């Protein structure tokens, strides 16, 4: 899904996001009160309930743990053993990164590679995965693109996603980013041989910079023939001004949509205004108002919306990038098109890459 978060501060110091590991809050959309953690493959997990270590591995016959809310604490169940703790930390042996599966029972299970912290949070559980930045970038690229996306378009996406991670740490109070489109859509890390993983490896450490600083690069599924600037949608100004760029592909091949919403919802929908759109789609679903480009027609007891495009329309247009790559453009040309006046630099160490 395209990035739909608000424009954030885009300047970082020499410390901040040059650190390779980032902390991502995962599966929060499910408001979980229980998680299960399971060792992946032959991995051995070391689960620390506060300071008490418990080893989970298939060879021992116990490779999974259940963590539930219990008042202000956690109830941790491993086989027949039950302990209480204020938080749970899961790592590999010697506290290293490890592969594991985190699940919300009967809802979703997802594989991660990193370390895990689980703690109570306002009546639910917060799960925070600390993972290598390049692993996070690969997970975003795989989540944001289909398997048949051209390689150069994947490389452009990788640079944009990495730029966002580098330029905007601390988006949330307890962790840097979430795994939704509020920050960046993130799923499981792809296999090393996948096109997404290879695109990330081919662009390792490359980010977009403006005025010698990385930018929190925004991107959208498809524009309506011309990208927008933040001010168009009621966002505050940012260090990188963005530019309205013509997108020939979306002009010639617009994504058209139609939906029906209540007159009460329509009364709260201003166009173009991303915050107003997000309030509706977070309640009704993304298909209710896929973009800010639409015409409204009032009927007896509802309103029909007919529009084009998907997402906020700012920055890289993924549909346009795919079309450019199919026509022979490389990732640098794609990025130059949608992020004018930026440079591709290696971070840390802001050396421009020709």
Pair 166, 230 in one domain: yes
pLDDT over 70 at 1, yes or no? no
Indicate the DSSP class of residue 323. H
Average pLDDT of span 2-13: 38
Which candidate, 114, 150, 89, places its Cα nearest to that of 23? Answer: 114
> Cα separation of 44 and 27, whole Å?
23
Pair 233, 162 in one domain: yes
> Cα separation of 53 and 201, whole Å?
35
The CATH number that applies at residue 73 is 2.60.200.30
Q: Which domain holds residue 38?
A: 34-122
- Tell me what pLDDT residue 351 has: 53
Pair 167, 201 in one domain: yes
> Cα separation of 118 and 28, whole Å?
11
pLDDT over 50 at 230, yes or no? yes
Pair 199, 303 in one domain: no
Please identify, among 100, 122, 144, the residue that sits at the C-terminal boundary of a domain: 122
pLDDT of 44-59, one tens digit each?
A: 999 999 888 999 998 8
Task: Identify whether 15 is part of a domain.
Answer: no
Pair 327, 179 in one domain: yes
Average pLDDT of span 31-43: 93
Pair 89, 208 in one domain: no
Task: Identify whether 292 is part of a domain.
Answer: yes
Characterise 309 by phi-psi region: left (phi > 0), alpha (psi -120 to 50), beta (else).
left
Pair 108, 189 in one domain: no
Task: State the pLDDT confidence band at 166, using cuts at 50, 70 and 90.
Answer: very high
Task: Identify whether 186 is part of a domain.
Answer: yes
Average pLDDT of span 157-181: 93
Please identify, among 122, 153, 186, the residue that sits at the C-terminal boundary of a domain: 122
Task: Identify whether 46 is part of a domain.
Answer: yes
Pair 229, 148 in one domain: yes
Pair 199, 334 in one domain: yes
Cα torsion through 196, 274, 129, 30, rounded to 10:
-110
Number of structural domains the chain divides into? 3
pLDDT over 50 at 208, yes or no? yes
**Across 64-68, 215-219, 255-259, 275-279, least confident range:** 275-279
Residue 212 burial (CB < 10 Å; 0-12/13-18/19+)? Answer: exposed
Task: Identify whether 5 is part of a domain.
Answer: no
Pair 143, 201 in one domain: yes
Task: Identify whether 208 is part of a domain.
Answer: yes
pLDDT of 248-272, one tens digit each?
A: 999 999 999 999 999 999 988 876 7
Task: Identify whether 260 is part of a domain.
Answer: yes
Task: State the pLDDT confidence band at 16, using cuts at 50, 70 and 90.
Answer: very low
- Tell me what pLDDT residue 271 has: 67
Task: Identify whether 79 is part of a domain.
Answer: yes
**CA 55 centroid distance within chain:** 31
Pair 236, 187 in one domain: yes
Pair 291, 333 in one domain: no
């Amino acid at each position: 899904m395209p990035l739909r978060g608000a424009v954030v501060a885009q300047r970082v110091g020499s410390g901040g996001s040059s650190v390779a590991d980032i902390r991502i809050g995962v599966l929060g959309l499910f408001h979980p009160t229980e998680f299960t953690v399971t060792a992946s493959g032959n991995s051995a997990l070391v689960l620390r309930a506060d300071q008490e270590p418990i080893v989970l591995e298939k060879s021992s016959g116990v490779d999974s743990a259940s963590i539930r809310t219990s008042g202000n604490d956690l109830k941790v169940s491993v086989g027949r053993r039950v302990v209480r703790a204020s938080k749970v930390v899961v790592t590999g042996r010697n506290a290293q990164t490890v592969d594991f599966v985190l699940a919300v029972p009967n809802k979703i299970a997802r594989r991660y590679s990193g370390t895990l912290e689980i703690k109570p949070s306002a009546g639910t559980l917060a799960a925070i995965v600390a993972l290598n930045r390049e692993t996070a970038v690969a997970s975003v690229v795989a989540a944001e693109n289909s398997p048949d996306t051209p390689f150069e378009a994947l490389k452009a996406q990788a640079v944009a996603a990495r730029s966002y991670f580098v330029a905007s740490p601390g988006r949330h109070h307890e962790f840097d980013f979430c795994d939704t489109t509020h920050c960046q859509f993130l799923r499981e890390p792809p296999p090393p041989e996948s096109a997404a993983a290879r695109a990330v490896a081919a662009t390792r450490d490359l980010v977009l910079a403006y005025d010698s600083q990385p930018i929190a690069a925004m991107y959208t599924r498809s524009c309506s023939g011309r990208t927008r600037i933040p001010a168009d949608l009621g966002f505050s100004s940012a260090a990188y001004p963005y530019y309205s760029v013509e997108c020939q592909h979306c002009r010639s091949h617009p994504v058209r949509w139609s939906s029906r919403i209540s007159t009460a919802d329509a009364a709260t929908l201003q166009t173009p205004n991303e915050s107003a759109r997000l309030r509706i789609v977070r309640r009704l679903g993304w298909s209710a108002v896929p973009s800010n480009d639409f015409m409204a027609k009032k009927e007896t007891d509802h309103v029909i919306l007919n529009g084009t495009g998907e997402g906020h329309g700012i920055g890289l247009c993924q549909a346009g990038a795919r079309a450019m790559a199919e026509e022979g453009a490389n990732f640098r040309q794609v990025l130059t098109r949608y992020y004018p006046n930026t440079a591709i630099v290696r971070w840390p160490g802001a050396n421009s890459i020709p």
